[in-house]
Each structure stands twice: as structure tokens, then as C-alpha cells.
Amino acid sequence: MPETSQLTFSFKEIVTALLKAQDIHEGIWGLFVNFGLSANNIGPNESELRPAAVVPVLSLGLQKFEKETNLSVDAAKVNPKLAPIQKLKRAPN
């Protein structure tokens, strides 16, 4: 099997992983991306410069959504809160 050098994830998979990492168990949450914007002159050489916009991704995060979409999941479904384990009663010696 060839060595994998790149993995891709759906938006829902990313949201699910972030919910689990943050221990969130309720609510509908979705992915948001915070973009920046800057401008620069770019081109193959100095005589062929063009004004251009550069849009970097500044951060990824979670935000509350009203309903499930292709960007959001229900935390109760993908990361249910586990019931506490009841202490086992020991039989008397």
C-alpha cells in the first residue's frame, strides 16, 4: 500500500472532531472560517505586474447554527454525553 501524504476531511468530519476536542455535547454547531484580505502587485516579471488580492485563512472555528447543513452537525448525535459509570457494589467478605 503506498504511503499517504495527504488526507482530506468533509466539513462535518472537521466539525465533529472539533466538538469532541472541546467536549461539546449539545447544540447544532458548524464550521466557520475567518479570512483576511490584503493586496499586492504580482506577476511573472516587473513589466507584467497586476494588482491582486491575497485572501489568507486566519483561523477555523465552530459557531452555533440554527439547523443541520452540509457545514454543521448536531453535537448530541455525533458526540453524545456518556452516562457516568455506576460504582460496582462489592459483595461482603
In-domain check, residue 93: no
Note down the domain range covering 40.
11-78
pLDDT of residue 91: 61
| Span 29-70, pLDDT tens digits | 999 999 999 999 999 999 999 999 999 999 999 999 999 999
**Number of separate domains in the chain:** 1
Question: Would 59 be classed as within a structural domain?
Answer: yes
* Beta strands in 7-70, from DSSP E residues, in sequence order: 28-35, 38-42, 50-54, 57-64
What is the sign, positive or negative, of the torsion defined by CA atoms of 85, 91, 92, 93?
negative
In-domain check, residue 86: no
Supply the pTM of this predicted model. Answer: 0.75
Q: Tens of pLDDT along 6-28?
A: 999 999 999 999 999 999 999 99
Residue burial 38-59, b: 16+ Cβ < 10 Å; e: rest: eeeeeeeeeeeeeeeeeeeeee
